[in-house]
Amino acid sequence: MVACVSWKGEYVVVPPSPSLAEEGGRRDYHGEANRDDAEVHPVDAELARRLRHQALGKRIRAAQRRLLDALGEEASRYLALEELLAHRAREREVAAFNLGYERGRLQGRAEASSSRRDTQRLAAQLAAESAAHSDEPLTALLQAALAVARR
């Protein structure tokens, strides 16, 4: 949902246009994390907690009210502009969230892959040491497990 300022300076929630993520076929992690039916979106709540822009928000709303009052009959032009700006901000927010999420996933995969290689190396060392000291069936089991882990 996109918030716009009404004639009275109150926020009005309107549905957004289809996002680039929806049109481009890329997965929308932001949409998955922020259900449309949620009372407060988790990402928005966390941003509000971190940024603490309450005073700034009040100043912006007061300036918007003064501008709407000054525009009088032409206020609809400002509201149309505000809608476009809100749409752009929403698209950027979704894209930035998805970009960060995708980067985090890739970094996590790289770290997991590195950890997996370390585990394989350790298993190979254990199998080699075990083979050097014993001809027991456990050695064969370790070697089979290592072969499976390398796949």
What angle is formed at CA 85 by the lines to CA 84 and CA 87, rounded to 5 degrees?
65
pLDDT of residue 150: 63
Structure-block tokens of residue 104: 């985090």
Euclidean distance between the first and the last CA atom of the chain, given in angstroms as a whole number? 46
| Contact residues for 128 (Cβ-Cβ < 8 A; gap 6+) | none
pLDDT of residue 87: 94
pLDDT of residue 140: 65
pLDDT of residue 88: 94
User: Is 20 within 8 Å of 28 (Cβ atoms)?
Assistant: no
pLDDT of residue 120: 73
> pLDDT 10s digit of each residue in the chain, 151 long?
444 444 455 544 545 445 444 556 788 887 777 777 777 777 778 888 888 888 999 999 999 999 999 999 999 999 999 999 999 998 998 888 888 888 888 888 888 777 777 777 777 777 666 666 666 665 666 667 666 666 6
User: Is 13 within 8 Å of 19 (Cβ atoms)?
Assistant: no
| Contact residues for 148 (Cβ-Cβ < 8 A; gap 6+) | none
Q: Mapping DSSP to helix (H, G, I), strand (E, B) and coil, where does residue 35 land?
A: coil
